[in-house]
Amino acid sequence: MQQQQQDTISALQAMDAAHHLHPFTDSADLAKRGTRVIERAEGVYIWDAKGNKLLDAMAGLWCVNVGYGRKSIADAAYAQLQTLPFYNNFFQCTHEPAIRLASKIASLAPGHMNRVFFTGSGSEANDTNLRMVRRYWDLKGMPSKKTIISRKNAYHGSTVAGASLGGMGFMHQQGDLPIPGIVHIDQPYWFGEGRDMSPEAFGIKTAQALEAKILELGEDKVAAFIAEPFQGAGGVIIPPDSYWNEIKRILEKYNILFILDEVISGFGRTGNWFAAQTLGLKPDLITIAKGMTSGYIPMGGVIVSDRVADVLISDGGEFAHGFTYSGHPVAAAVALENIRILEEERLVDKVRTDTGPYLQDRLQTLSAHPLVGEVRGMGMVGAIELVADKHSMVRFGSEISAGMLCREACIESGLVMRAVGDTMIISPPLCITRDEIDELIFKASQALSLTLEKIA
Ligand code: PLP
């Protein structure tokens, strides 16, 4: 690398450390180690400023579903910026991109869901959910139904309501969360918490924790249950097969709304437009963001069922809620082009019938590695559990940080994987090809061996 180029990177890193507070980052540590400056991206690859090429098996932050470098998305944004860069959807106004996007999403969503409320992010969308379900029950004449039941180790965002709905203890410790009216039940994490029973039995047990909580609080106090189809940030935790049927039974028995947080799973990641369709679930509200625009520009929203929308609309008058950027025209134009690409290239179908099953088959080959306790996945997500002893499944002590070592080994091998404790997770762009999946698995296997060497 040229000296001048190195100087530029060092200057950027110094400026970054001096002025930029990063999300979910220990800033003191970052200042010591320096940041990786990412410069450009194409397809499933990113390049850092030093010229290192990495296969991005996390699709950015689970979001770049159509892959990087789509010129037609840039063109759609540019065209919209020239005609109408901004107008709001408040006060009896609207514009064509928001209208077309709401209608398009309604056509892709489960049949009983026909309306969309737009936000700027997934967190804002979950704040919207909280206000919407409480408003719904007020309008139904049941104002005592206020509490929302969530799950430990869930992730629903970083706003006050989002972080409270989430079940991350380390987030709750900062800022006195959760706010009142939100409670958490056990998660369906069989490998981490349930190996003393069969996955089947554990799935039923953790689902029945919902019923126990409803009975403890009283059905007349509970507004909604919120869940991700699989817990993404929690470590790609996929409930045992028995889980959702039992949850469905409980939700049907008690009069409780169901919020399905599809910020990660929406727009194709499980091989259908929404995981609700993959899993046969009937949510009242679906949270969306990320894959909606493939992350090219921020946007989120809530897909609202007829059950909820009809009450809000016919009995509610004004819903006193909204964001300056709700349905932003440029974001909506980008989302429409993103969906057009997903459709034209049949990327969602491919995840269901071709690249998804191929990824899952190839991932399973890693389970033979001495460091690997379990490999699991669905569609275009996967998780690899690192263990100290493959036979007893004993994990490493916290002094080892196997996940962090493996994450660094991945970078050395030219691959971006994320570590959640000692769980390595992936969520590649949906446009990834079979050859690129082979490369991903080769690099992951190399990184696992490198990790083993580092630990030894
Ligand atoms: N819900 C889930 C399931 C998520 O994974 C995330 C982000 O990772 C969010 C909500 C929050 O979305 P955002 O970061 O756009 O606010």
Who lines ligand 1 at CB under 6 A?
121-123, 126, 155-157, 228, 232-233, 261, 263-264, 287, 289, 300
Is 237:265 a contact under the CB 8 Å cutoff?
no
Under the banding of pLDDT at 50, 70 and 90, the label for residue 34 is: confident
Pocket test for ligand 1, best of 261, 263, 285, 292 (most atoms within 8 A of CB): 263
Is 57:416 a contact under the CB 8 Å cutoff?
yes
pLDDT of residue 445: 98
d(CA 158, CA 124): 9
Q: Decide the pairing of beta strands 113-119 and 300-305.
A: antiparallel
* Average pLDDT for 231-246: 98
d(CA 441, CA 448): 10
User: Atom 1 in ligand 1: which residue has the minimum CA distance?
Assistant: 156
Each residue of 357-395: pLDDT tens digit? 999 999 999 999 999 999 999 999 999 999 999 999 999
Compute the distance from residue 232 Cα to the ligand 1 centre, in Å: 9
Kindly compute the dihedral angle of the four CA atoms of residues 222, 211, 273, 443, in this order, to the nearest 10 degrees.
Answer: 120
Under the banding of pLDDT at 50, 70 and 90, the label for residue 290 is: very high
Give me the chain's average pLDDT, please.
97
Is 427:58 a contact under the CB 8 Å cutoff?
yes
Compute the distance from residue 109 Cα to the ligand 1 centre, in Å: 19
pLDDT of residue 32: 85
Compute the distance from residue 351 Cα to the ligand 1 centre, in Å: 22
d(CA 430, CA 162): 27
Under the banding of pLDDT at 50, 70 and 90, the label for residue 5 is: confident
User: Atom 13 in ligand 1: which residue has the minimum CA distance?
Assistant: 122
Each residue of 95-115: pLDDT tens digit? 999 999 999 999 999 999 999
Compute the distance from residue 200 Cα to the ligand 1 centre, in Å: 29
d(CA 277, CA 272): 6
Closest-lying ligand 1 atom to the alpha carbon of residue 126? 10
> Does the structure's ipTM exceed the value 0.95?
yes
Residue 148 has pLDDT above 80, yes or no: yes
Residue 30 has pLDDT above 90, yes or no: no
Each residue of 168-215: pLDDT tens digit? 999 999 999 999 999 999 999 999 999 999 999 999 999 999 999 999
Closest-lying ligand 1 atom to the alpha carbon of residue 289? 15
Pocket test for ligand 1, best of 124, 231, 264 (most atoms within 8 A of CB): 264
pLDDT of residue 291: 98
User: Atom 10 in ligand 1: which residue has the minimum CA distance?
Assistant: 156
Under the banding of pLDDT at 50, 70 and 90, the label for residue 398 is: confident
Under the banding of pLDDT at 50, 70 and 90, the label for residue 1 is: confident
* Average pLDDT for 238-265: 98
pLDDT of residue 215: 98
Global pTM exceeds 0.90: yes
Is 271:351 a contact under the CB 8 Å cutoff?
yes
Compute the distance from residue 55 Cα to the ligand 1 centre, in Å: 23
Is 190:198 a contact under the CB 8 Å cutoff?
no
Compute the distance from residue 51 Cα to the ligand 1 centre, in Å: 30
Backbone dihedral region for residue 230 (phi beyond 0: left; psi -120 to 50: alpha; all else: beta): beta
Compute the distance from residue 166 Cα to the ligand 1 centre, in Å: 10
Under the banding of pLDDT at 50, 70 and 90, the label for residue 356 is: very high
Closest-lying ligand 1 atom to the alpha carbon of residue 121? 15
pLDDT of residue 33: 83
pLDDT of residue 165: 98
Compute the distance from residue 5 Cα to the ligand 1 centre, in Å: 35
- Nearest-Å Rg of the Cα atoms of the chain is 22
Each residue of 51-67: pLDDT tens digit? 999 999 999 999 999 99
* Average pLDDT for 315-332: 95
